Structures are given as C-alpha cells and as structure tokens.
Structure 1
Amino acid sequence: MTTVSAETEASPATSDDDVMVRVTDLTKVYETGAEHPISACDRISLAVERGKLVAVTGPSGSGKSTLLHLIGALDSADSGTIMVDGREVTSLRGRELAVYRRTIGFVFQRFHLLPTLTALDNVMAPVLPLKVAFDKKERARELLAEVGLAGREDALPSKLSGGQQQRVAIARALIQRPSLLLADEPTGNLDSQTGAQIIDLLFNLRTTAKTTIMIATHDEGLADRSDQIVQVRDGKVVSAVGPGVA
C-alpha cells in the first residue's frame, strides 16, 4: 500500500466512472448547548473506488460514524457535497431522498432486528411495503443461505447467537442488492472469533456481489486487510492509505 495525502485530488488514471463515492469539503457541526459546538466532519474530502472495501478508522468521537451516516443520508450535511454513483446526494430532497436511502445497505453495531419476526421476515422487512421486481421470500432465502444461515429461516432473533443475528442484519442490508454497503462497527458487539467470521463474510460479499463497502471500525485486523484505510481524527481525514484516491 502507498500513502495518499488526504488533500490529493483524483489522479488522471482514476476517472469519475471508477469512483463510487466522492466527498468534497463535507462539514457537519452539532450544537450541544455548550460553549463550543462539536465539529463531527470538518471539510472532509475523499473518494472511494468501485468494488473496494474501505476501512474508516479513528478513536471514538472522531467522526467516522457521522461520515457514514451522511453518505447514507441518515443525517444531512451543513455544507459540502456527496456524490454516490454519479448522484449528488446532498441535493436530494423528499421522495428522491427516500428512494436513494433504499439503494444503500446499512449494517450497524446493534443488529436492530425485530424481535417478533423470524430471520426470514427480518430480511424481507425493508421491502415488504414496496413493489419490487423480484420474489421477496425467494431473495431473502437466497441471502440467508449466502450468509451461512440456510435452515434457520424460521428462527426468532432470541434463538440466534450474536454472530448469527449480525448475519441476518447483513442479509437484510443486501435485500435490494445495493452497490454500496455502509457498516458502522459491525463487529463491535461480537467476540473476536465471531467478529473474524463476519469480516470474512464482508470480504466475500465484496468479491461475489461486486459491492463497494465502507466500514467504520476499531478492528485492526479488518483495517489491515482492507483495500483502503481512511483515518479520521477530530472530524478530519488525517491520512488515506491504499489504492483509492483521497
């Protein structure tokens, strides 16, 4: 891996067609009522190539989760632009914003499974109210098999281990086959062995599904295996390492 300056623009060899995510001068400030507001993102600029797995690292409170939430439109930026697959996310409003959110897969540290629904129904939950061009139940079964849970379709979350629940959450995030998957500390609530299995699963998905993946993580093992490492501190990108552009 080679080190890339956080302020470097895309090189001539990297066209916009190769970039899945491009963030430019992104700023997000939270007013806390204290004397000094919290600058969660302070003019962050970076780019992520298609099909890469990017680890966003940094201490707690550094802004890495906020960065993912802004890219996924779970929160709105104060200034700057976010381009995802050629679409300017920061300009979307109303229905267009809702439609965009459905094109992104989200995986969180807390699994957020609905306790009264089976694994199969949890995977289908995001698309149950939608008209889609695929069989929802068949797709959910296929995804559970892909994440190693064939035969556990009827299990409630309370009957699944933490690692199995995270697998269900990953399958749910993939129900619409998103081209971009955002994962916020996906191994944070798991033991090291189970966490390693989830990491292997994510790397396999990047290869088999050609999915671009951004992961906010403290896991050094995951970061070391990633295609690109983006280190965030105090709301700023302090370094970017790997083949991606920053």
Structure 2
Amino acid sequence: MRRGPVRTAFALITVLVMACVASASAVEPLWWKTVLRAEAGHVRFYAFAAASSRAAWVLGERIGRRGYARPVSYHWDGERRRSSALPSEPTYPRGEDVVGTRLSASGARNTWLLLPGEFGYAGEEPEECGLTPVPPEKRRADRPSRLLRWTGSGWEDSLTVEDAVLMSVVAVGSGGAWAFGEDLRGPVVFRYDGTKWTKKSGPVRVHDAEARGSEAWVVGESAVARRAGAWRFDGAFWRREQGVEGRQLISQAADGQDGRYAVGMRMSPLATASSPG
C-alpha cells in the first residue's frame, strides 16, 4: 500500500523533530531547536505527541532489509531524548498507510501509543475489461491491534484486540482514553475509564481523532451513508458538525481559538476547510 499524500509529505519533511522555545526577551521571536534527528535512510517519524515542554514522544519506523519495517519510539524529557523500547515490535511491509492518530497525550502519565492491526481479505478485484470491480471482503484480523500506555519510564501493554483493527487513540482527562476502529460488522469504539476497557459499536469510520476537553473531535465518514464529515463525541453521543465539505477527510486540528481546520481530498489533490467556531 502507498502512504496518503498528506502523511507522505510529513514523513519526508520531518527528518528532524524540533521544539519551539521562547527567547530570553518576550519581544523577540520564538526560535526552533533540534531535539531529535532521524538516522537518514533508516528511520522515519510519523507521529508526535506532547504533554508539556518536558514530556514529548515520537513514533516512527526503522527500515529493515527486504522491504520490512519495525516501529520505534523516543521520549524527550526537556533535556535529553532516549529510545523507548516497545513490549513487542511487529514487522510489517514498508510503506503501509500511516493514517489515524497513533500517539496521544493529555498528561505525562496519560499517554497512549497505538500499534494498529490489519485485516485479512478474501477475493480479488476483477481485471477483465467492462466488469465492475468488486472490493475484496474482509475475513479476519490478521494482525492484532495493541494499545500501550506510558508508565513514566516506559511503555506497557494495556489492551490487545484480535477481532478488530484500531486506527486512532485519544487520551482524555487525567486517566481516560478512547480508541476508534472497525471490526467485521462496522465501526467500534473502545473506552478506558482508568481501570478497564469496554467496547461498543459506533456510527463513524474514524480517520483521525483529537481530544478537546472532555470530548473527542473526529473526522471520517458515516458508516451507513458513507458521507465524509466531522463529529464531536462525548463518550455517549455523536454530534455532526456543519460546514465541512469533502469527499474524504484525512486530518484535523484546532486553530488555537474556537475553530478547527480539516484537510481532505476531493476531485482536486488537496483541499482545506475550516469548521465554524
């Protein structure tokens, strides 16, 4: 599989992880400094989360031989960075799609890392001229999804999901989290209440998610009508936001005030839209 256009650009450009730091004088501009440098040609970064200036994490992949890669993680404590070993490092084909939210932090002790699973498919799209392509059918989860939580000194397993593929994780509050994905029947949501995980079905195939207060803001498409859009999710109810147009929304972010931006794909390669505040 090929990486989507937005994530590909990010992976190629982000050879350095940089931090914006304030200068000595409040009237002078902010400056950037390098805090982590990738090994050119061997490591790619594709996810970043920060709880504060002294607690940040980077997720990427180390490129191996024969077209395979392994996930790698780094932690920055404000003074130095160090590699953070994962409980296991599954191998996967180099160039897999990097979509969804793989790292999320709401605090130094509520930080989550997602290693997504993968579906196995049956059937192939017909290549004969004049026939309507039929998408392959999902049969099972070939690779389990794994959610890891930061303990303060390293990552530990919190949940392994073998009957669904998770694509996004969002840290909420001081000790909660949501994970969004899909099983063979449709979209699912996993909720962590600080003690245990619970699962329920959902109406949205989530492409990207981000916490805002006690809510999760997501972009994706409705499971039934397959209409792209943006939603707010408070753990119980989904509320569709108005004013976002796009065939497929990929990512979104806050504008620092009361609005948000969403990035999507239409007939043109790239389009942006701002949701009302």
TM-score (norm 2): 0.27
Structure showing the higher helix proportion among its residues: 1
Larger Rg: 2
TM-score (norm 1): 0.29
Structure showing the higher strand proportion among its residues: 2
Higher relative contact order (CA 8 A, sep 6+): 1
